[in-house]
Structure 1
Amino acid sequence: MEKHIKKLSKNRVCYLDNDEITNPIKVVKDFFSASWLPDHLKMLKQWRNDAAFESDGSNSRSPTFTLYGHELTIKLVEAAWLLKGEKLGRVAINVEKEVDIAKWHIKMERKKLRDYPEHLSLCEIIRPSSVIKEMFKIHKLEGYRKILNIWLYDALSTSFMEESLSKAEVITVYEQLVKLFEAMWLISERVGDKTQV
């Protein structure tokens, strides 16, 4: 029993309030109302560079901006954890059998949306919720939270801390977060004004 409780508490949601836990799509909407997809991706890349590489601009960026980006990202990851079993934003196309139809749909959707994913495969664009499921095969919620906290400390540090995470670890998490941001963007656009899962 104690082992089961420890396992449950390890991946508990910490940053979301009760309304956000009940309705995690609200977190996704709030994330993209704070900034457009390209701005979030730019922030993530700067953050990655601060964590993995000795970047020039890390000390010139606002700590407030860095902390705000950290909070938004962790909240999005926690919302994704709650949504990992849902099939949100799916397009009713069988990608394996209807590749041309899927490509046509993507072409039409790309024209309608302000921003469009550049890092997702055809299947991931048609089924963006699959990105969430795959993401949590690499790390569980607690793993992402720990890594993002290390990134925060590295980004706020006045000196480069090379030993905190390997470049491979940082890049793996960065790639997963880029895909998560893009998948959540598609989900938020496809779900529209529906705020309930």
Structure 2
Amino acid sequence: MYCGETAPWDHFPKNLRIGEFLDPLQVIVEFFSTGQPPEQLRKLEAWRYFVVEEEYYNDPKLGPEPLLLRYDLHLRLMEAAYLKLLKFKDDNIDTQSIQPGQLENERRMWPYFPADFSGEELSDPYAILEQSFDRYPPQAYRDNLHAWLHVALSTRTDFETLPPGEIMSFYENMRRLCNGAWLIRQRESGNAIMKS
């Protein structure tokens, strides 16, 4: 598929190994092994802070390494989620029907359940991914993450490169992608994380 000025190979995963390319769910599982959504979203919000403020990111003990790791994790999550979406569409899989009471059970049993989606979106996390990639195709996602990394590590904020409205729009998209990936992780991994 050719998307405007973006060549098809721009959407090709650039940060996944062959095994991960063949089984992108393992990347999604790995992403959430570094923290469940509340922690991931807190770290994302902290990253956004350094994108919009004049301060720059520098962990007192570890320097820029935690932010570089966050950048890599989000790149890999995005590419894995995109591959999952493509496979879902290529296989012409019908949306898994949600059994009566399933959403309520998940809400009760899981340690985290996204609150900002409609019932239809909660029933079909691939619709969440599709909307996310409609707004930010993979290369646009990569470009934004790269800009966020540079601005967060810079001593000045460049609102010409990243206007505040665009920062918020991309931030909300990243939140949606993270939450959609969490739903897929919980339902498809065969090893849903439950409340203790």
- TM superposition score normalised by structure 2: 0.83
Is 1:92 the counterpart of 2:97 in the alignment? yes
Instruction: In structure 2, give the amino acid aligned to 1:77.
Output: M
In the TM superposition, 1:1-197 aligns within 5 A as 7-51=7-51, 53-54=52-53, 58-60=57-59, 62-85=63-86, 86=88, 91-93=96-98, 101=100, 104-193=101-190
In structure 1, C-alpha distance between the alignment counterparts of 2:9 and 2:96, rounded to whole Å: 35
Contact in 2 for aligned 1:59/1:158 (Cα 8 Å): no
Deviation at 1:34, TM superposition (A): 1.3
Give the letter for the 2:111 counterpart.
Answer: R
Note the C-alpha offset of 1:123.
Answer: 1.2
What does the per-residue CA deviation read over 1:49-78, in whole Å, with 9 as the maximum and x for residues that have no partner?
A: 222x21657345641110000000010101
The amino acid of 1:151's aligned partner reads W
| Paired residues, number | 180
Letter in 2 for 1:54: E
* 1:91-116 C-alpha deviation (Å, 9 max, x unpaired): 5149xxxxxx4xx4322211100111
- Paired with 2:184 and 2:82, the residues of 1 have a C-alpha distance of 15
- Residues in 1 aligned to 2:96 and 2:111: alpha-carbon distance in whole angstroms: 19
Counterpart of 2:137, as a letter, is K
Identical positions, percent? 28
Please identify runs of 4+ aligned residues in structure 1 that moved more than 3 A: 55-62
Question: TM-score, normalising length from structure 1?
Answer: 0.82
Measured in 2, the distance between the counterparts of 1:147 and 1:56 equals: 19
Q: Which residue of 2 aligns with 1:97?
A: none
C-alpha separation in 2, matches of 1:33 and 1:82? 20
Q: Report the CA distance between 1:162 and its aligned residue.
A: 2.6
CA distance, structure 2, for counterparts of residue 55 and residue 115 of structure 1: 33
Which runs of no fewer than 5 residues in structure 1 stay unpaired? 1-5, 95-100
Unpaired segments of 5 or more residues in structure 2? 1-5, 192-196
Measured on the aligned residues, the alpha-carbon RMSD in Å equals 2.3
Give the conservation status (yes or no) of the 8 Å contact 2:54–2:155. Answer: no
2:114 corresponds to which letter in structure 1?
P
Query: Is the contact made by 1:124 and 1:130 (CA closer than 8 Å) also made in structure 2?
Result: yes
Amino acid at match of 2:109: K
Q: Distance in 1 between matches of 2:107 and 2:98?
A: 16
Q: 1:185 to 1:73 in 2, by over 3 A?
A: same
**8 Å contact kept, 1:49–1:55:** no
Q: Deviations over 1:27-67 (max 9, x none)?
A: 0000011111111101111112222x216573456411100
Report the alpha carbon displacement of residue 177 of structure 1 after superposing the two structures with TM.
1.0
Distance 1:56 1:108 in 2: 43
Partner of residue 3, structure 2: none
